[in-house]
Chain A
Amino acid sequence: MSTQMLTYLFVGLSFALYIGIAIWSRAGSTKDFYVAGGGVHPVVNGMATAADWMSAASFISMAGIISFIGRDGSVYLLGWTGGYVLLALLLAPYLRKFGRFTVPDFIGERYYSKTARIVAVVCLIFVSFTYVAGQMRGVGIVFSRFLEVEVNTGVIIGMAVVFMYAVLGGMKGITYTQVAQYCVLIFAYMVPAVFISIMITGNPIPQLGFGAEVNDGSGLSVLEKLDGVLMDMGFSAYTEGSKSTIDVLAITAALMFGTAGLPHVLVRFFTVPKVSDARRSAGYALAFIAILYTTAPAVASFARLNLVDTVHDTAYEDAPEWFGNWEATGLVAWQDKNNDGVMQYGAGAALSPTKPVFTDQKGSYGQRELSNQPTDSVNEVYIDRDIMVLANPEIANLPGWVIALVAAGGVAAALSTAAGLLLVISSSISHDLLKQTLMPSITDKQELLFARLAAAVAVCVAGLFGIYPPAFVAQVVAFAFGLAAASLFPAILLGIFSKRINKEGAIAGMLVGLVFTFSYIVFFKFYAPELNNAEFWLLGISPEGIGFIGMLLNIATACALSKVTAPPPLLVQDLVDDIRIPSGAGIAHNH
Chain B
Amino acid sequence: MSEQPYHHQGENLPPHDHNDQKIILEQSAKAYWQANLALLAKLLLVWFVVSFGCGILLADWLDQFTFFGFKLGFWFAQQGAIYVFVALIFIYAWRINIIERHFGLDDDDESVSKNEVHQ
Contact = CB atoms under 8 A, between A and B. Distances in A.
Count chain B CB atoms within 10 A of each CB in A86, A212, A287 and give the residue with the most: A287
Q: Which among B6, B70, B78 has the greatest number of chain A C-beta atoms within 10 A? A: B78
A585 B110 contact: yes
Q: Which 4 A-B pairs give the minimum distances between C-beta atoms?
A: A211-B69, A586-B114, A74-B77, A586-B110
Contacts of A557: none
Interface stretch (A136-144, A275-283, A518-526): A275-283
A584 B105 CA distance: 9
Contacts of A279: 89, 92-93, 96
A316 interface: no
A294 B83 contact: yes
Q: Which of A213, A239, A583, A589 has its CB near the most chain B CB atoms (within 10 A)?
A: A583
A276 B44 contact: no
A128 interface: no
A499 to B, nearest CB: 11
Contact of B105 (A73, A293, A581): A581
Interface in A221-245: 221-223, 239, 245
Given A249-B56, A286-B86, A223 B77 contact: no
Given A581-B105, A583-B7, A208 B83 contact: no
Main secondary structure of the interface of B (DSSP, over half): helix
Contacts of A249: 52, 56-57
Interface of B: 6-7, 29, 32-33, 36, 40, 43-44, 47, 51-52, 55-57, 63, 67-71, 74-75, 77-79, 81-83, 85-86, 88-90, 92-93, 96-97, 100, 105-108, 110-111, 113-114, 117-118
A78 B89 contact: no
Contacts of B79: 207, 210, 294, 297
A89 B40 contact: yes
Contacts of B44: 85, 89
A77 B71 CA distance: 17
A273 interface: yes
B115 to A, nearest CB: 9
Contacts of B74: 71, 74, 223, 239
Q: Most chain-A CB neighbours within 10 Å: which of B57, B74, B82, B117? A: B82
A77 B82 contact: yes
Contacts of A287: 86
A515 interface: no
Contacts of A71: 74, 77-78
B69 A221 contact: yes
A297 B78 contact: yes
A74 B97 CA distance: 33
Interface residues of A, number: 55
Contacts of B43: 85, 89
A85 B117 CA distance: 33
A286 B89 contact: yes
A28 interface: no
A582 B106 contact: yes
B118 to A, nearest CB: 7
A90 B40 contact: yes
A172 B110 CA distance: 22
A78 B51 contact: yes
A589 B114 contact: yes
16 contacts: A74-B78, A77-B81, A85-B89, A88-B92, A89-B89, A222-B69, A245-B56, A273-B110, A274-B110, A275-B107, A279-B89, A280-B90, A286-B85, A581-B29, A582-B105, A586-B111
Interface string A70-107: 01011001100110111011100000000000000000
A239 B117 contact: no
Consensus secondary structure, chain A interface:
helix
Contacts of B7: 583-584
B57 A585 contact: no
Contacts of B82: 77-78, 81, 290, 293-294
Nearest to A74: B77
Contacts of B114: 273-274, 586-587, 589-590
Given A585-B107, A586-B110, A82 B32 contact: no
B6 to A, nearest CB: 6
Looking at B79, B86, B107, which has the most chain A CB atoms within 10 Å of its CB? B107
A84 B88 CA distance: 10
A384 to B, nearest CB: 22
B84 to A, nearest CB: 9
Contacts of B51: 78, 82, 252, 256
A489 B63 CA distance: 33
A88 B57 CA distance: 25
Contacts of B56: 74, 78, 245, 248-249, 252
A145 interface: no
Given A211-B70, A287-B86, A290-B86, A586 B113 contact: yes
Nearest to A293: B82
A293 B83 CA distance: 10
A587 B9 CA distance: 12
Contacts of A213: 69
B107 A283 contact: no
Given A89-B44, A211-B67, 12 more contacts: A66-B78, A74-B74, A81-B82, A85-B44, A89-B88, A89-B92, A221-B70, A252-B51, A252-B55, A274-B110, A582-B106, A583-B110
Nearest to A276: B107
Contact of A582 (B77, B85, B107): B107
A81 B68 CA distance: 22
A580 interface: yes
A587 B113 contact: yes
Contacts of A590: 114, 117-118
Contact of A84 (B69, B89, B105): B89
A212 B69 CA distance: 6
Contacts of A84: 85, 89
Nearest to B77: A74
Nearest to A300: B78
A78 B84 CA distance: 11
